[in-house]
Structure 1
Amino acid sequence: MAEYLDVIDDNGNLTGETVAREVAHRDGIRHRTSHLWLLRKKDGALQILLQKRSADKPSFPNCYDISSAGHIPAGGEFASSALRELKEELGITAEEKDLIVCGDRNVVWDCVFQGKPFHDRQISRVFIMRCDLEEDQFHIDPVEVDSVRWMDFEKCIHGVEQNTFLNCISLEELQMVRKKLSEKEKMW
């Protein structure tokens, strides 16, 4: 069964139309996603949780990625979708009050996956959330996620900048997280 997404205009406003996810990526139709980064302090260092994508994913298999992310289904909202994906992918239940908004990121990106053109046009709302679980305490969905890994936050930024580990992480998004963390320093 096809997954339907709300179509948005260049400013992120709903148009009242919906489109199948596959068509949105084939034709470059703007839609919305939620990105949630989990963070913790351990031994005085700030760490970020990276999700290693399943080897069976059609896009970016075996790459490290956002802690939890997903498309917003038609009629859905950013925060509720972030929480749903968190539960589905990592087995974590949280509440909207636990989420901190970092901002929205405009994504325009073109590629080819499995021989098919892929045109991504999305507005991603970026969230952060504190989570003190160990890697083996997550209940990952093996269809979506191979594993999770805590990484020193600054080491992650450096690794993405220098491409020292296999990832599909946006440096711009990590910088958004860094900026929000500097505003919320006492929380961490």
Structure 2
Amino acid sequence: MEMLDIVDENGVPTGETVEREAAHRNGIRHRTSHVWILRKRNGKTQVLLQKRSLNKDSHPGCYDTSSAGHIPSGEDFLESSLRELQEELGITAAAEELLYCGCRRSEYRGEFHGRRFWDHQVSNVYILWRDVEESQLTLQKSEVDSVVWMDWDKCLDMVKHQSAPHCIRIDELEMVFSAVSLLEESGLPPRLEK
């Protein structure tokens, strides 16, 4: 049974916990972390998207953030982000490699596998610059069906026009894009072009 911290609107734990399934059944606010893995190829920014396993409790078979996950009770955003990268994709990263983009609050109501799903989360969003081939990744099959690198503008178009099944929110993409633009203006962090 996965226990989550119940949090306030800023993602601060209230001291109470809730089982993950109950959080989604009743719309209880909890925390998640989202990591967008980016690279440069042929002068373009690319994003690594994961295709969610068909067995996921929400949005099965949809394209999603590179790596994301619920934060277990007692963990923090950064610790959870690094653990999820390792578990879902086999990527080992250091805390200083994750670039903070911002905090996002979201609420979603739907139905999956014949059950009501009410997601109410506070998410910290990060960028990881990492040029890695899909074949070099070790996917957690219970979570991730496959991964694909996609040009940033193609990803944005897919989300805006619903041209493929996905659970990516446009406001989060815009948050990441703004952070990338600021980084490029400052010349940091260095990114190798292949």
What code does the residue aligned with 1:69 have? A
Per-residue CA deviations over 1:57-83 (Å, capped at 9, x if unaligned) read 232111110000000000000011001
Per-residue CA deviations over 1:16-68 (Å, capped at 9, x if unaligned) read 00110011111111100000000000121110000011122232111110000
Q: Secondary structure at the match of 2:140?
A: coil
Q: Distance in 2 between matches of 1:97 and 1:11?
A: 23
Post-superposition, which runs of at least 4 consecutive aligned residues in structure 1 deviate over 6 A? Answer: none
8 Å CA contact retained: 2:58, 2:117: no
Report the aligned-residue RMSD.
0.9
State the match for 1:164 in structure 2: 163
State the match for 1:47 in structure 2: 46
What code does the residue aligned with 1:27 have? N
Alignment of structure 1 residues 1-188 onto 2, 5 Å: 2-185=1-184, 186=187, 187=189, 188=191
Unaligned stretches of 5+ in structure 2? Answer: none
Identical residues among aligned pairs (%): 52
Cα drift, residue 157 of structure 1 = 0.6
Q: Distance in 1 between matches of 2:10 and 2:145?
A: 35
**TM-score under structure 2 length normalisation:** 0.94
**TM-score under structure 1 length normalisation:** 0.97
Q: Secondary structure at the match of 1:184?
A: helix
Cα drift, residue 128 of structure 1 = 0.4
Q: Distance in 1 between matches of 2:162 and 2:2?
A: 33
Residue correspondences, number: 187
